[in-house]
Amino acid sequence: MTGDICMAVYSAPPINKKEILRYAGAREADASLAALLDECLALVDDGLSYRVAYAVYPVTKTAEGISLGFFTTSSRDLAKNLDRCHAVIAFGATVGHFIDRMVLREGVRSPAKALLLDALGTERVEALADVFCRDLAEKYTKEGCALRPRFSAGYGDLPLSVQTDVFRALALPKSLGVTLSNSLLMTPKKSVTAFVGIVMKEQV
């Protein structure tokens, strides 16, 4: 049903070490960095949870711009992303608090390890979002639809303040245990929210 919050739980997506190094600002790993990365991977093994909360909303044009059912925006960039879409999936994804705790702990002991752990957390939540979107694409392809690339608050001219609408619509503090500060920072830090437009294939 439109607006109903659904939940998805995943096993750990495949690790992409190159992406972790990229997020850490390293082009490639020498032997010592590779060993440190392996230590980080072992440290968080089985400590992460991969969870997604999502809901489907109608997309309609308004005098102000577009409405996604739970909020209206004048963002031209989001409107372009959702052009010809009849519906949109709003979702939140998180890998939990564990990685944040490890980053804080290792920040005192080993700043280099803390940097890699932070990059690992980013790679993990992005991988989760990618797996979720691939599952959506498979589902909606069977229904004669295609999906647009995911688009998040803070992209282009879509203000970061839209996060408050997403958090309210998906009840993220309750559904995922993810909270939003007054400065619009998410906790756990390794969490993302995004919109994914749904368009009929003949409209692509």
Alpha-carbon distance 98 to 112, whole Å? 18
Quote the pTM value: 0.95
**pLDDT tens track for 180-193:** 999 999 999 999 99
98-109 and 111-141 helices, crossing angle to 10° = 160
Examine residue 155 and state whether it is found in any structural domain, yes or no.
yes
Containing H/E element for 93? strand 87-94
Q: Which residues contact 201 (CB under 8 A, 6 or more apart)?
A: 144, 145, 146
CA-nearest of 155, 159, 156, 161 to 182 is 161
Domain tally for the chain? Answer: 1
Name which of 2-6, 92-96, 129-133, 167-171 the model is least confident about.
2-6
Alpha-carbon distance 172 to 59, whole Å? 21
In the chain, the percentage of residues whose pLDDT exceeds 70 is: 99
Examine residue 121 and state whether it is found in any structural domain, yes or no.
yes
Token pair, residue 163, equals 């996060």
Examine residue 185 and state whether it is found in any structural domain, yes or no.
yes
Alpha-carbon distance 119 to 116, whole Å? 5
CATH number at residue 46: 3.40.109.40
Token pair, residue 88, equals 């949109």
Q: Containing domain of residue 161, as a range? A: 6-203
CA-nearest of 35, 45, 152 to 89 is 152
Alpha-carbon distance 7 to 99, whole Å? 21
CB 83 within 8 A of CB 77: no
| DSSP code for 80 | H
Alpha-carbon distance 36 to 48, whole Å? 19
**pLDDT tens track for 45-89:** 889 999 999 999 999 999 889 999 999 999 999 999 999 999 999
Examine residue 1 and state whether it is found in any structural domain, yes or no.
no
Alpha-carbon distance 133 to 80, whole Å? 19
Alpha-carbon distance 48 to 15, whole Å? 13
